[in-house]
């Protein structure tokens, strides 16, 4: 049986960041990837998807994305190319096409059952990311004439059956897919759940630039906001702020959050206006935060009253549709933009809670040598982001190197 010092599982942004930091500490390791490097950027993103981070902020340590338009937003395939280039840059020891089916502690550390046979490792770093298993609520019964698919399986408007489309979920994916369908002149219905809007740019800089400038990206878990509603802005079409009322004026039918269905008749809560108001509150809260920071630091940046303008609410949104007969409305496709759940059932260790998430301290578990990387809020706000994952990788690599030095 092959034996390695440290086994890193997953060759996306987290696994590659881990590899870089282990190499810098002369820690022997191998990275296993079930598909290609950055597989999900190739096979689980739609053709027109654009990354939410502007090109000039796409960076792993010492390797910024080289783009002709630094303020624009790259397509998913370009991010896949970037990760492949980074893997080459750091000479990462990645083995593609190797799936890990099981991981169990043993006397020597861990035994991984893989598609090419067992591998023994002293340390194991789980870097499989937060977007593992598409989550589709059990709300709408299957029907042969209505295609149901998750955002991970959606590819493009012309890949859907003819007819109207219902998009469920108002996070970044739901907003971007719904807009793409609308621009493709598909009749589009959007179920708007609770969300927080954000200005794409404010007072001369991108939203994410402000995260980094103000230190928000380093916000620790102890200060995690209570409001967990998804954040909505878009990198598509040059990048812009999202206001669902603008979509409504262009012909999109907005609905409250989905509650259930009787056959092909879906029910929606009467909370559309409340959800829009919640989005507006988050929008203004962020701009107020930036304004206060600018005043405190004495920055010379122009005010931005245009960004603060809120579109008028079309009158009909006060009386939204509460029941929608999908067949009568000609809806042939339902796209679930309802997020993901993790799946760590292949790991045999007593560290998982009822929600399937591991107990850890910044990615370090109570099982010696077992680590996680790239989880949302692993240690800070940016832990699962491409530009933030290396902070946690650095801390884990230090821990692994110290463990090796101590002979533990």
Kindly write down the DSSP assignment for every residue of 201-222, as one continuous string. Answer: EETTEEHHHHHHHHTGGG-BGG
Highest-scoring range by mean pLDDT, 35-44, 225-234, 357-366 = 357-366
- Thinking of the domain 134-336, which architecture would CATH place it in? 3-Layer(bba) Sandwich (3.50)
Does residue 17 surpass a pLDDT of 90? yes
Give the whole-angstrom CA distance, residue 397 versus residue 109.
17
Contact at 8 Å (CB) between 233 and 242?
yes
Does residue 309 surpass a pLDDT of 80? yes
String of DSSP letters for 184-196: TT--EEEE--S-E
pLDDT band, very low/low/confident/very high, at 129 (cuts 50, 70, 90): confident
pLDDT band, very low/low/confident/very high, at 93 (cuts 50, 70, 90): very high
Is 2-132+342-406 a CATH 3.10.20.30 domain? no
Mean predicted confidence (pLDDT) in 374-392 = 97
Residues 6 or more apart in contact with residue 217 via CB below 8 angstroms: 211, 380, 381, 382, 385, 387, 388
Residues 6 or more apart in contact with residue 214 via CB below 8 angstroms: 289, 290, 293
Residues of the chain with CATH 3.50.50.60: 2-132+342-406, 134-336
Q: What is the pLDDT of residue 132?
A: 87
Contact at 8 Å (CB) between 133 and 342?
yes
Q: What is the pLDDT of residue 228?
A: 87
> Minimal CA–CA distance to 265: which of 334, 323, 189, 335?
323
CA distances (Å), 26 to each of 14, 337, 373, 401, 405, in order? 18, 42, 19, 8, 12
Mean predicted confidence (pLDDT) in 129-135 = 88
Q: What is the pLDDT of residue 254?
A: 98
Q: What is the pLDDT of residue 83?
A: 98
Contact at 8 Å (CB) between 197 and 242?
yes
List, for residues 329-378, the tens digit of each pLDDT value.
Answer: 999 999 999 999 999 999 999 999 998 999 999 999 999 999 999 999 99
List, for residues 204-229, the tens digit of each pLDDT value.
Answer: 999 999 999 999 999 999 999 999 89
pLDDT band, very low/low/confident/very high, at 407 (cuts 50, 70, 90): confident
Q: What is the pLDDT of residue 130?
A: 84
pLDDT band, very low/low/confident/very high, at 249 (cuts 50, 70, 90): very high
Does residue 385 surpass a pLDDT of 90? yes
Contact at 8 Å (CB) between 233 and 281?
no
**Which of helix, strand or coil describes residue 306?**
helix
List, for residues 355-365, the tens digit of each pLDDT value.
Answer: 899 999 999 99
pLDDT band, very low/low/confident/very high, at 1 (cuts 50, 70, 90): confident
The separation between the first and the last C-alpha atoms of the chain, rounded to the nearest angstrom, is: 22
Does residue 408 surpass a pLDDT of 80? no
pLDDT band, very low/low/confident/very high, at 311 (cuts 50, 70, 90): confident
Does residue 131 surpass a pLDDT of 90? no
């Amino acid at each position: 049986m092959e034996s390695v010092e440290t086994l890193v599982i997953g060759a996306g942004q987290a696994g590659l960041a881990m590899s870089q930091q282990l190499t810098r500490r002369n820690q022997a390791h191998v990275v296993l990837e079930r598909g290609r490097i950055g597989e999900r950027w190739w096979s689980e993103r739609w053709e027109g998807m654009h990354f939410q981070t502007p090109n000039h902020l796409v960076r792993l340590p010492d390797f910024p994305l080289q783009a002709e338009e630094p303020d624009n937003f790259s397509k998913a395939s370009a991010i896949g190319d970037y990760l492949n280039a980074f893997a080459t840059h750091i000479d990462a020891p990645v083995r593609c096409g190797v799936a890990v089916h099981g991981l169990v502690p043993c006397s020597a550390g861990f035994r991984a059952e893989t598609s090419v046979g067992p591998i023994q490792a002293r340390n194991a770093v789980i870097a499989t990311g937060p977007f593992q298993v598409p989550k589709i609520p059990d709300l709408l019964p299957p029907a042969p004439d209505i295609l149901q698919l998750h955002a991970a399986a959606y590819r493009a408007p012309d890949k859907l059956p003819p007819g109207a489309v219902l998009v469920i979920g108002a996070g970044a994916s739901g907003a971007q897919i719904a807009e793409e369908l609308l621009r493709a002149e598909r009749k589009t219905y959007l179920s708007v759940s609770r969300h927080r809007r954000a200005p794409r740019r404010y007072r001369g800089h991108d939203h994410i630039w402000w995260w980094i400038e103000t230190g928000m990206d380093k916000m620790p878990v102890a200060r995690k906001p209570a409001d967990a509603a998804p954040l909505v802005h878009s990198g598509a079409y040059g990048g812009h702020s999202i206001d669902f009322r603008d979509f409504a004026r262009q012909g999109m039918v907005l609905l409250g959050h989905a509650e259930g269905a009787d056959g092909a008749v879906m029910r929606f809560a009467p909370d559309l206006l409340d959800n829009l108001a919640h989005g507006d509150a988050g929008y203004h809260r962020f701009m107020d935060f930036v304004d206060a920071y600018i005043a405190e630091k004495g920055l010379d940046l122009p005010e931005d009253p245009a960004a603060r303008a809120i579109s008028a609410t079309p009158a009909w949104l006060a009386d939204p549709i509460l029941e929608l007969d999908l067949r009568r409305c000609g809806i042939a496709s339902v796209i679930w933009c309802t997020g993901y759940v993790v799946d760590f059932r292949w790991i045999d260790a007593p560290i998982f809670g009822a929600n399937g998430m591991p107990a850890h301290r910044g990615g370090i578990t109570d099982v010696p040598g077992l680590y996680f990387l790239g989880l949302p809020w692993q240690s800070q706000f940016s832990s699962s982001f491409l530009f933030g994952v290396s902070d946690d990788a650095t801390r884990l690599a230090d821990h692994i190197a110290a463990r090796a030095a101590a002979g533990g």
